[in-house]
Structure 1
């Protein structure tokens, strides 16, 4: 047997014979398992002592030459490690003590929150082809960022979709040209868009120019839905947004006699309204499905207000609307 193997087995032997291992438990549990002998170490000692009393020479053994003992050492160590793991289970990096986790989440408060519950709205848009979920989610996120920007609508359209296509001069020129067609098309009208005739394929099968037109049209419709213009001649505007748990219904009212902006919503789930503008804000909470109202003073027109709708149970991000009293 080579020196490395001998060193390894001597280390194992040292571990087994260490003070914290040779306890009463070890003697009574581990040693009893050796071929049915209750205390083999004691018997071995007695046997060797007998040989010495007879005047014989104690026999020495090479550890590697006794396969049965070698296997037993490994079994004892394995058993000892199993006991240690059972008595002191390992912890996750974020744990400081043992924690019993439930097999399932039976409370809504600990349920996992799905991401982007707002994307169900795509089915309400007038589009000839359904966009992949990841692309629609990206376009909606861009619209949320650009919603309060002072850029012209055409520039907003191009900025919202340009990351989906190669960033070169020719692509940008094509985007600008198609954006012009989208701007001139009637609101929510697909038939008027000559660059998108008879689309019967999936988004991935469309030509690049058709993908551009479809993306731009999607952004235009999203911005139209998220932007709410109200005025003295049109003081009440209603909006709907489809979520994965139902329809959010909004009624925005400009009460000129009271100089007040009022938002009333019908919620498909518990939520929060936060209305901001002119240096003030108002927050309203609803703990269940139903009606929710939030109001702010509105003494000056041509002032932009924002409405954040937060549904914690369906999405990690609130949905932003812009209200423009004129």
Structure 2
């Protein structure tokens, strides 16, 4: 038998050994006549004993017949595998039995975790590189805590970002001083940045410090609303995951006292809570639209806080600091 024939039979033997003998022998497909030879595999496996008993030389294939047999064998094997897959479909690694899955997900079964509602405001800041959402959220949370503190602005900035850069107090103080003394909008003015399209994680530590301090300063500026008799109307916008929150703060003098009024346009249902020293006013809207609250100011130069609560997008309210002056 030539080498091609031996190689082909070796392939047949390997396939047979990979399968179970009983399955192969019981297949009706295997018992069909292939190119005029009735079950050549069976003849091949019994050729040794048959030759000894009958003295008949076992049948072999000519070289030109090998490709034809290979093609027929591959077709038989393909049909056999298709039948096995149809009768016993394969399972996913996590399955122990065949399961039917719906063509679409039931909307009532979906549990969506919304993004923190207030972080969309980052897109409105003048930053050369976007901060990771987790870092921006941490900065915003610290700004909320320190917003009403009497600390100087430079000290506030350092405290807002110091948790991101432990044991770097002196470097933070130095860069915070540069941020306050200039109109810097990007770390590029502090140190040449290799690539303004780089991710935050790829920046040098001093660049990360500068970017974080700049973001903290802009957040504190956005959250602080100074009004005065000379500048009695100030407007603010804050982008949320539900849309834009528009605020209009008015300060009016009424003799020895004043009146503070906050009017807003809400993108969703919400609550305004305006607080002063011993005073409080609450307004609520069941849907998007206009909402206003007002307080009478008993004395000048007193600070007030405005809490904006949007229950549908965030459990924590957003706090603004209002600072009326004469």
TM-score bracket for the superposition, by shorter chain length: 0.5 to 0.7
Q: Is the 8 A contact 2:228 2:251 kept in 1?
A: yes
Shift of 1:292: 0.1
- Tell me which residue corresponds to 1:267: 266
Q: Which residues of structure 2 form unaligned runs of 5+?
A: 1-105
Match of 2:219 in 1: 222
Relative to 1, partners in 2 of residues 1:259 and 1:105: Cα closer, same or farther, differing over 3 Å?
farther
CA distance in 2, matches of 1:250, 1:278: 22
**Are 1:308 and 2:304 matched, yes or no?**
no
Counterpart of 2:126 in 1: which secondary structure? Answer: coil
Task: For residues 74-95 of structure 1, give each alpha carbon's deviation from its aligned partner in whole angstroms, at most 9, with x where no partner exists.
Answer: xxxxxxxxxxxxxxxxxxxxxx
Q: CA deviation at 1:301?
A: 1.3
Deviations for 1:184-243, whole angstroms, at most 9, x for unmatched residues? 122x73388323646331100000000000000000000000001100100000000000
Residue pairs, 1:83-232, within 5 angstroms:
104-105=107-108, 114-165=114-165, 167-168=166-167, 171-186=168-183, 189-190=185-186, 193-195=189-191, 197=193, 199-232=196-229
Deviation per residue, 1:19-54 (Å, 9 max, x gap): xxxxxxxxxxxxxxxxxxxxxxxxxxxxxxxxxxxx
Aligned-partner SS, 1:117: coil
Shift of 1:113: 6.4
Q: Give the corresponding residue for 1:319.
A: 318
Q: Which residue of structure 2 lines up, in the alignment, with residue 13 of structure 1?
A: none
Aligned residue for 2:235, secondary structure, equals strand
Query: Which residue is 2:240 aligned to?
Result: 243
| CA shift for structure 1 position 245 | 1.3
Query: 1: CA distance between counterparts of 2:271 and 2:244?
Result: 15
Q: Distance in 1 between matches of 2:187 and 2:235?
A: 26
The structure with more radius of gyration: 2
CA distance in 1, matches of 2:235, 2:324: 14
Q: Normalized against structure 1, the TM-score is what?
A: 0.63
Provide the C-alpha distance between the structure 2 equivalents of 1:323 and 1:261, rounded to a whole number of angstroms.
Answer: 9
CA distance in structure 2 between the aligned counterparts of 1:244 and 1:253, rounded to whole angstroms: 26
Counterparts of 1:47-62 in structure 2 under 5 Å? none
Tell me, yes or no, if the aligned pair for 1:267 and 1:291 is still in contact at 8 Å. Answer: yes
Native 8 Å contact 1:264 1:293 kept in 2: yes
* In 2: Cα distance, 1:111 partner to 1:239 partner: 33
Aligned residues: 218
Contact 2:227 2:323 in 1 (8 A): yes
SS class of match (2:212): helix
By how many angstroms is 1:298 displaced? 1.1
C-alpha change, 1:205 and 1:114, in structure 2 (3 Å) is same
Q: Tell me how far apart the structure 1 counterparts of residues 189 and 322 of structure 2 sit (CA, whole Å).
A: 28
Match runs of 1:40-79 below 5 Å: none
Q: Distance in 1 between matches of 2:189 and 2:286?
A: 44
Contact preservation (8 Å) 2:269, 2:285:
yes
1:275-314 deviations in Å (ceiling 9; x for gaps): 0002110000000110000000113111010000000001
Unpaired segments ≥5 residues, structure 1 = 1-102
